[in-house]
Amino acid sequence: MSAPLRQQPRTADLLSSARARQNQYVSELAELVAIDSGSYSAEGVNQVADWVQTRLHRLGFTVERIPHQHPGLDVGDTLLARKQGRLTPAEGGRRILLAAHMDTVFDNGTAAERPFRIVGSTAYGPGVSDDKGGLLAGLTALQILQDHGIHEYAELVFLATPDEEIGSPASRTVTEEVARGVHYALGLEGARENGDLVIARKGVADFRATVTGRAAHAGIEPERGANAALCAAHLVVALQALNGHRDEVTVNVGVVRAGNRANIVCPHAELRIEVRAATEAGIRWAQQAITGLAQRPAVPGTSISVEQLDLCPPMEDTTAARDVLEQATTTAAALGFTIGAAATGGVGDANLIAGQGAVVLDGLGPVGGADHTPDEWLDIGSVPQRVALLATLISSLGEASVDR
């Protein structure tokens, strides 16, 4: 027998609760921003993880800390927390993932150099928007749901990673494994500066093209050589010319290395190539185009080999994600504000989650901007509405039988 339906809380009640907690939110945000937690500062990231772990324990979550041993990197733990709801999947309960990251792009000492401050209704500080404001918004939304006794879901999962700002090299496998078991994922990155949520993120594929030529004395017998540098130059032009041939696909040659002496016909060259695309099909198209160019070297006697070094899948704009966005739009209107949807070329953990088949909507943190700069900011006035929006989405998505 299915579980009895429970009346959903009014958005106005959740908004009232969020407003009541705004001062606490600001105080706690100041605490988090005061911790230097750059991606390469394991100690700082783990201080944030300790803080988050304490909050989640109070909310009844079971918390796991996953340490990482990654070659050449000293990163903090991934924090993974779970809480069972009242419903089973058979009863319409859904598993919902909240995804945030604890690291910033800033070095140790930045929090002291540029401490948390408030000017009017705007907060400033390292990581205030990316992503400490969003991480804290998620915790606050969970607290509000707890206060209202809302447990109509199968499971809530809270994931906080230590290395998102450097591409999640250590935490990626954990994120992908967690994502395989959820129905919906709500990304806690900050909303765009205009308030939009993020409906899509381009994927990224990195390639290395190695050009092999033939060395010769550049003054005595250059004709015996095959110039890999010249071949690489032609290849750079051809690769850049791929731009504009397919919508939402970009190709960039960011690194070129060739030769080491001016009096030798260059025998070796290397290119590093980045592809960004909105869809998996776009990435495949670019891969095939790069491979095709490599099979036709412009300089006789040279050869080109191509190796794919990394792939971060796109978070595609899907019908299922649009359905969640529609719920968010309706909820926002009830809360007294409007939102739109943005697609971005920037990647994050949401890409990895979407790559495992979960339905993802990102940008559900407060409004902020100037990320990765000394001017990074967060709009404190946006916090209650964004927290209430997040709490409402968790409540409605958690139960399949809820009318939407």
For residues 98 and 186, the answer to whether their CB atoms sit within 8 Å is yes
Supply φ then ψ for residue 386, to 5 degrees: -70, -35
Mean pLDDT of 226-235: 99
Q: What is the mean pLDDT of residues 316-340?
A: 97
Sequence ranges of the chain with CATH classification 3.30.70.360: 203-312
Please state the length of the chain.
404
CATH code for the domain defined by 203-312: 3.30.70.360
- How does residue 404 score in pLDDT terms, banded at 50, 70 and 90? very low
Q: Give how far the C-alpha of residue 19 lies from the chain's centroid of Cα atoms, to the nearest Å.
A: 28
Domain with CATH 3.40.630.10 in the chain: 11-201+315-397
The highest-level CATH class for domain 11-201+315-397 is: alpha beta
pLDDT at 4 over 90: no
pLDDT, tens digit (0-9, with 9 covering 90-100), for 253-289: 999 999 999 999 999 999 999 999 999 999 999 999 9
Cis omega (within 30 of 0) for bond into 74: no
Pair 77, 390: CB distance under 8 Å: no
Sheet of 359-361: strands edge to edge? 62-66, 78-84, 155-161, 95-101, 184-187, 359-361
Neighbours of 72 (CB within 10 A): 5
Dihedral, 341, 347, 352, 356 alpha carbons, nearest 10 = 40
**Measured between alpha carbons, how far is 161 from 69 in angstroms, rounded to an integer?**
14
Query: What tens digit of pLDDT does each residue of 71-127 get?
Result: 888 999 999 999 999 999 999 999 999 999 999 999 999 999 999 999 999 999 999
Does 3 score more than 80 pLDDT?
no
Tokens 């909507």, residue located: 361
pTM of the model: 0.91
Report helix, strand or coil for 378: strand
- % of the chain beyond a pLDDT of 90: 94
Q: Both tokens of residue 142?
A: 């969970």
| Distance linking the first and last C-alpha atoms of the chain | 22
Q: Give Cβ neighbours of residue 143 (< 8 Å, ≥ 6 apart).
A: 21, 55, 59
Among 7-21, 32-46, 177-191, where is mean pLDDT lowest?
7-21
> Is the predicted pLDDT of residue 8 greater than 80, yes or no?
no
pLDDT digits (tens, 9 = 90+) for 354-400: 999 999 999 999 999 999 999 999 999 999 999 999 999 999 999 98
The single-letter DSSP state of residue 138 is: H
Question: Residue 68 — left, alpha, or beta (φ > 0 → left; ψ -120 to 50 → alpha)?
Answer: beta
